[in-house]
Amino acid sequence: MSVAEKGKGFFMSTNFTADQYRSALDRIQSVRVCVIGDLVLDRYVWGDVSRISPEAPVPVVHINRVEDRLGCAGNAAVNLRKLGAELSLCSVIGEDEEGRSLERLLGSEGISPQSIFVDQRYPSIVKTRVIAHSQQVVRIDKEVLPESSDARVSAFLSLLEKNIGAPDVIIISDYGKGTIMPEVFDLLSTLKTSGKITCPIVVDPHPANFKAYKNITIAKPNRAEAERATGIDIRNNADALNAAKMLMEQWSSEMMMVTLGEGGLVLVSDEYPQGLFLETVAKSVYDVSGAGDTVTAVFAALLGSGTPVDLAGSLANIAAGIVVSEVGTVPITREKLSAFLSNL
Q: Which of 174, 204, 239, 293 is catalytic?
A: 293
Residue by residue, pLDDT tens for the chain (344 residues) are: 333 333 344 545 567 899 999 999 999 999 999 999 999 999 999 999 999 999 999 999 999 999 999 999 999 999 999 999 999 999 999 999 999 999 999 999 999 999 999 999 999 999 999 999 988 999 999 999 988 888 899 999 999 999 999 999 999 999 999 999 999 999 999 999 999 999 999 999 999 999 999 999 999 999 999 999 999 999 999 999 999 999 999 999 999 999 988 788 999 998 999 999 988 775 555 556 678 899 999 999 999 999 999 999 999 988 988 887 777 678 899 999 999 888 87
Phi then psi dihedrals of residue 156, to 5 deg: -70, -45
Residue 293 appears among annotated catalytic residues: yes
Q: Which residues pair with 259 in a beta bridge?
A: 222, 265
Model pTM?
A: 0.91
Would you call 203 helix, strand, or coil by DSSP?
strand
Identify which of 77, 76, 47 has the alpha carbon closest to the alpha carbon of residue 64.
Answer: 47
Residue from 140, 81, 74, 143 nearest 104 by CA: 74
> Under a CB-based contact definition with an 8 Å cutoff, are residues 219 and 203 in contact?
yes
Rg (CA), the chain: 20
Q: Is residue 281 within 8 Å of residue 321, measured between CB atoms?
A: yes
In the chain, what are the domains?
A: 2-39+72-129+148-341 (3.40.1190.20)
